[in-house]
Amino acid sequence: MPLRSIKQALLDLRDERRLDRVKMVDLTNCTFDGHIYDVRRVMEECLAIKPDLVFLWDEAWFGFAHWSPFLRPRTAMGAAADIERWLLEPESIKAFEKQQSDLGGKPSRQALLDTRLIPDPRKVRLRVYQTNSTHKSMSAIRQGSMVLVKDVDFGAVESQFHEAVFTHASTSPNQQIIASLDVARRQMELEGYGLVWNAIQIALDIRREIAGHPLISKYFSILGADKMVPAEYRQSGFVDFLAPGSDWADAVRSMRQDEFCLDPTRMTLVCGTAAFDGSQFKALLANEYGIQVNKTSRNSVLLQSNINNTRSDVAQLIRVLLEISKSLDKQLGNGAAARDEFAGRVKALMVDVPDLPNFSRFHDHYRGNAGEKTPEGDMRTAFYGAYDADQCEYVPLVGDEIDRRLKDGAEMVSANFVIPYPPGFPILVPGQVVTVETVDFMRKLDVREIHGYDAARGLKLIRLHRQAAPTARPVEHAAA
Q: Which residues bind ligand PLP (CB under 6 A)?
A: 28, 58, 60, 133, 145
Q: Which is nearer to ligand PLP, 58 or 209 (CB)?
A: 58
Nearer residue to ligand PLP within complex by CB, 28 or 416: 28
Angle between helices 39-49 and 76-88 (to 10 degrees): 50
* CB 134 to ligand PLP: min, Å: 8
Distance (Å, whole) CA 215 – CA 183: 43
Instruction: State the minimum distance, in angstroms, from the CB of residue 278 to ligand PLP.
Output: 17
Any idea how long the chain is?
480
- For ligand PLP, the closer of residues 28 and 360 by Cβ is 28
State in angstroms the smallest separation of the CB of 347 from ligand PLP. 31
> For residue 266, what is the enclosing H or E element?
strand 266-270
Q: Distance between CA 81 and CA 87 in Å, rounded?
A: 10
- At its nearest, how many Å lie between ligand PLP and the CB of residue 305? 17
Q: Which residue is at the shortest CB distance from ligand PLP? A: 133
- What's the CA gap between 448 and 419, in Å, rounded? 11
Nearer to ligand PLP, 131 or 198 (CB): 131
Report the sign of the C-alpha dihedral through residues 416, 405, 370, 387, in that order. negative
Nearer to ligand PLP, 131 or 309 (CB): 131
| Burial 15-36, CB ≥16 within 10 A → b, else e | eeebbebbeebebbbbbbbbbb
Q: Considering the complex, state which of residue 145 and residue 467 has its C-beta at the smaller distance from ligand PLP.
A: 145
Contact, 302 vs 269, CB < 8 A? yes
From the number of C-beta atoms within 10 Å of its C-beta (0-12, 13-18, 19+), residue 216 rates as: buried
Return d(Cα 307, Cα 202) in angstroms, integer.
9
Q: Is the peptide bond before 46 cis (omega within 30 degrees of 0)?
A: no
As measured in angstroms, the least distance from the Cβ of 100 to ligand PLP is 37
Q: How far is the CB of 424 from ligand PLP (least distance, A)?
A: 8
Do residues 119 and 43 touch, judged by C-beta distance below 8 A?
Answer: no
CB of 28 to ligand PLP, least distance (A): 5
Phi first, then psi: give them for residue 281, nearest 5 degrees.
-70, -35
Which residue, 49 or 77, has its beta carbon nearer to ligand PLP?
Answer: 77
Nearer to ligand PLP, 145 or 236 (CB): 145
Close Cβ partners of 349 (under 8 Å, ≥ 6 residues apart): 272, 275, 276, 277, 298, 299
